[in-house]
Chain A
């Protein structure tokens, strides 16, 4: 299937999407698990001795009701959407809610409201029939909010206390993190761009730059993404976002083009950027050193990692039990380091469950991609799924001292409003694409 083939049949096929109530039985039964887990988690937390907070189960109830409402709306409006993705994400979200209630119960309200907003966004995107067509057709228009977000992010580096700010504070209790929605826009844009220029990528001769000028098209996204990542790295000191952005590009380039040399070249750029950053930016070098030997920095830069490792080790195979560990010693445990708390209280079993959930999401997302009717939707579904998994991988490997630590959230589980809403938006897009699977391939 080529771009030219698609252009001959430009009218979208939205009208043929299935509507009308259909009982999604598999989803219903699967949804019982996250609801039960969350309710059980909150029950256990209430039973803990010496708990001084007001007794509350309502976050669990909110989650249960929201799950039911979402399920019913999907049954009614989008019966064809994938039935496994929602239970998987709700499972992760429920685990996250329980852990946040246990670690920092004053953040539970905010996390729950972010969840509700995220679910609304998710539903809207799932039910928006024209979504994928618009995303493909107006891919350059998508850049505008992207550039705006990026600019806001970069300008943040210069206001106030200098480099390192990544949160745009709207009030002192509410702010957004521009790099979170930006990564979704990037996937959409790159998928459209790579799909449209697929031909060029397939036939360009990189060894003849003067005879074959199509290499300009080929290098613009590479250099652009590389530039954005380096800007984030230098100006905003956001190692996590920079790493993630370039990884997305690598994955999409790998999925969309057949050019192993192009992917290798991009990898080369990645290595170059990493090397330059290590040499020139002291905080990157510090992270490498801390990664190699955190024990030498135990009262400074290595404190977090050591505390996280100790917490994880304390967990053992089955964990200390919910509410029985001491994860409070790990700084920002409710956000970037929530894996350490899960490791301590739920043990190896708990982390394996989390890993399992991400793997199922990956399998399911790629299943959606393979069944997608056109190459653009295929790329978007695969790219979004890969984004979620790569993000989870990077922060999990970082907290377990497999790779240098970077500050990003564990999707659906960590505390963080923008992150949670973005993850739900991602889910919405994948669900929307999953509805197209029964259409005739164009």
Chain B
């Protein structure tokens, strides 16, 4: 490279640097001369910005006005870095560092934040030097949550000294008051109270009430520009149970406060304030006492047969009010309050019994014999049978093989046997007898007909009546996650199993086996229709909604879901059969309902289910008990008193995985104890709600503004 070239290069580089400095000068000119006035105004003008005020969530009461969920103040401690120091930190000498160090140590002791051992002043200085070495802040809140008080304080002091930092969350009430007393001597330390849910009955209301969680991202993104009363990313939202179903009523409307701040973020004054509107209070139809007794009784029943899962629901058959709804196993809603304990949450979500699953509305099971009330009512309404039609039950009937019908002899040879649960058979039975005895053969024939001797409903009519009684579709209870269950049809089987529908399927369906799946609540709804003359109500959990001032916003109105279109006298016949089941000496539920104080109409069910296992030869089979019988769930559905129904209930006990459990032996005794309790302990008029008491809502949380005390204008 010649000297000439070197000169050229150096010169070119000089030109580049001069150009760069020239650009710098242009920018300076823009800021200092042209933009000077703009920036000066900006720096002198205070910013006026809206700030939000959270609305307290509605309180939930039970039927008798007892609080089941309320808001409890939760306390957190915040520190305003600019108030800890009262002069510019650059000029700090040894003395100031020692003062700040000892003050932070005092704060830490007061809040029981563990600090590393050693000289706290030098630790603070080290943290501070490190923080000032990095130009831009890390996530300050993360440092604070990690308990690194010095680091968090230093970062905040450097980057945003007038923004309060949260140094501890979930402080117990007493500790919070102690801190408040001491905070007079500790400038900048403030206790902020916020409201937090408190579920007073714990796991008793687990699935009913549900819980709230920090709002999911998808939900936030669903909000459009036009959404009013928007959610903020810091909000919580009900995601299960009533907290979710009645989210709109419970959440209230956020308030807005316009605050004037100067350019460093110090609050100058509050210009105007639009207070938050608290959420509405809910009065449940649930009776806490009844709920408690049912939980105990059901749990004892489950323990007796070694089952882990069960459901019991009690409803007013004349209105659709749900008086109690228990799904076991349950969980404690308080677990979801505040910061969730990860180990407990993991235990809960990995528990094979799925305690968070509300079996009453989301679990689908084969109904077994309790389904028989539907073909009984349907056949009466369609004129297939009447009160007196009898069918002979020999204990077993043979259904000719439908694939070889042109050869009757062969068809009979390959015939499929259908047995009654009573091997000897019930003999001649009419519909009332058949319901009381739960005669399988009667319903095989009512449902699917038998040869030329009897014309049954057929699968289409059977499905029609199942839907008429509310199966295969949601009951529209206002809880998230309700299942529809399943009513099989000819077309469904063809499409999903690639098989044709045969009369055997109709037979199975008639006794609630095969592919029929129901939720316990659907069965209860069907029972209420029998009890009240054919009306299916939407089950409701709330009988009144009030605003925070106690004005009724919405009161209870029974809502009709559909009518079963069965004449009342036919339903009365079905009810008579159900009454027989508990009152006749040979009724299926008689052993459980001897000497009962009120007359009860009920129906037992023992539903076979199929936990699939792989056998040694690689084929699949259902798990069976030691005698080779399929495992069963136990059901019982009933209403009482028979003559003038006040309550309807359903009890479901999930199979224990080992033995056959009978509806009559397992579920019916539970129902008996519930009925006994209800009619002995509850005054008969308690089905009517008491007038709600004045509503104690929590006052809006105390907002302690970060910097109300005047600070001298300039160091």
Contact = CB atoms under 8 A, between A and B. Distances in A.
Contacts of B17: 359, 362, 386, 389-390, 393
Interface in A361-419: 362-363, 366, 369-370, 375, 378, 382, 386, 389-390, 393, 396-397, 400-402, 405-407
> Of A298, A303, A390, which is in contact with the most chain B CB atoms at under 10 Å from its CB?
A303
A405 B90 contact: no
B90 A402 contact: no
A428 interface: no
B39 A303 contact: no
Nearest to A366: B10
21 contacts: A1-B1, A104-B90, A160-B130, A167-B130, A237-B134, A251-B13, A283-B138, A300-B160, A301-B159, A303-B160, A304-B135, A309-B39, A310-B263, A343-B28, A347-B32, A359-B18, A363-B14, A397-B20, A397-B24, A400-B24, A402-B27
Interface in B18-51: 18, 20-21, 23-25, 27-29, 31-33, 35-36, 38-40, 42-43
B245 to A, nearest CB: 38
Interface in A34-58: none
B151 A161 contact: yes
Contacts of A8: none
Nearest to B94: A106
Contacts of A161: 130, 151
Interface stretch (A75-83, A222-230, A267-275, A332-340): A332-340
Interface residues of A, number: 78
Given A304-B159, A343-B32, 6 more contacts: A106-B92, A313-B36, A332-B135, A358-B21, A397-B20, A397-B27
B133 interface: yes
B715 interface: yes
Contact of A105 (B3, B43, B91, B133): B91
B135 A405 contact: yes
Interface stretch (A25-33, A117-125, A210-218, A348-356): A348-356
A407 B135 contact: yes
B84 interface: no
B656 interface: no
Given A254-B13, A352-B25, A389-B17, A164 B134 contact: yes
Interface stretch (A11-19, A66-74, A141-149, A323-331): A323-331
A313 B40 contact: yes
Contacts of A105: 91
A266 interface: no
B215 interface: no
Interface stretch (B121-129, B221-229, B436-444, B561-569): B121-129
A182 interface: no
Given A258-B1, A290-B136, A299-B160, A310 B39 contact: yes
Contacts of B383: none
B520 to A, nearest CB: 50
A316 interface: yes
A331 B159 contact: yes
Given A287-B136, A343-B28, A310 B43 contact: yes
A317 interface: yes
Interface string A278-318: 00000100110010000000111101100101101111110
A386 B13 contact: yes
B90 A328 contact: yes
A167 B129 contact: yes
A415 to B, nearest CB: 10
Nearest to B20: A393
B43 A286 contact: no
B423 interface: no
A166 interface: yes
Contacts of A389: 17
Nearest to A166: B133
Given A104-B91, A105-B91, A333-B90, A316 B36 contact: yes
B158 interface: yes
A437 interface: no
Contacts of A265: none
A435 interface: no
A432 B122 CA distance: 42
Nearest to A401: B27
Contacts of B52: none
A1 B93 CA distance: 57
Interface string B631-669: 000000000000000000000000000000000000000
A177 B29 CA distance: 34
Nearest to B9: A255
B582 to A, nearest CB: 69
A88 interface: no
A348 B13 contact: no
A362 B17 CA distance: 9
A290 B137 CA distance: 12
Contacts of A304: 135-136, 158-159
Interface in B133-156: 133-138, 140, 151
A172 interface: yes
Contact of A254 (B9, B28, B33): B9
B264 A329 contact: yes
Interface string A99-120: 0000111110000000000000
Interface of B: 1, 3, 5-7, 9-10, 13-14, 17-18, 20-21, 23-25, 27-29, 31-33, 35-36, 38-40, 42-43, 88, 90-93, 122, 125-126, 129-130, 132-138, 140, 151, 158-160, 162-163, 263-265, 714-715
B714 to A, nearest CB: 6
A6 B43 CA distance: 61
Interface of A: 1, 103-107, 160-161, 164-167, 169, 172, 175, 198, 202, 237, 251, 254-255, 258, 283, 286-287, 290, 298-301, 303-304, 307, 309-310, 312-317, 326, 328-329, 331-336, 343, 347-348, 351-352, 355, 358-359, 362-363, 366, 369-370, 375, 378, 382, 386, 389-390, 393, 396-397, 400-402, 405-407
B14 to A, nearest CB: 6
Contacts of A298: 265
Contacts of A347: 32
A198 B6 CA distance: 13
A407 B159 CA distance: 14
A370 B714 contact: no
Contacts of B93: 106
Nearest to A394: B20
A254 B1 CA distance: 12
Contacts of A164: 130, 133-134, 138
A255 B373 CA distance: 97
A167 B131 CA distance: 11
Contacts of B160: 299-300, 303
Contacts of A334: 90
B280 to A, nearest CB: 35
A164 B18 CA distance: 33
Nearest to B135: A407
For the complex of A and B, 8 pairs with smallest distance between CB atoms? A313-B39, A104-B90, A328-B88, A407-B135, A310-B43, A331-B158, A348-B32, A299-B160
A400 B28 contact: yes
Contacts of B25: 352, 355
A314 B10 contact: no
A120 B458 CA distance: 109
A2 to B, nearest CB: 9
A366 B14 contact: yes
Contacts of B136: 283, 286-287, 290, 301, 304, 405
A317 B33 CA distance: 6
A397 B138 CA distance: 23
A317 B28 CA distance: 10
A26 to B, nearest CB: 22
A348 B29 contact: yes
Given A312-B31, A316-B32, A396 B24 contact: yes
Given A255-B9, A258-B5, A314 B134 contact: no
A400 B714 contact: no
A104 B89 CA distance: 9
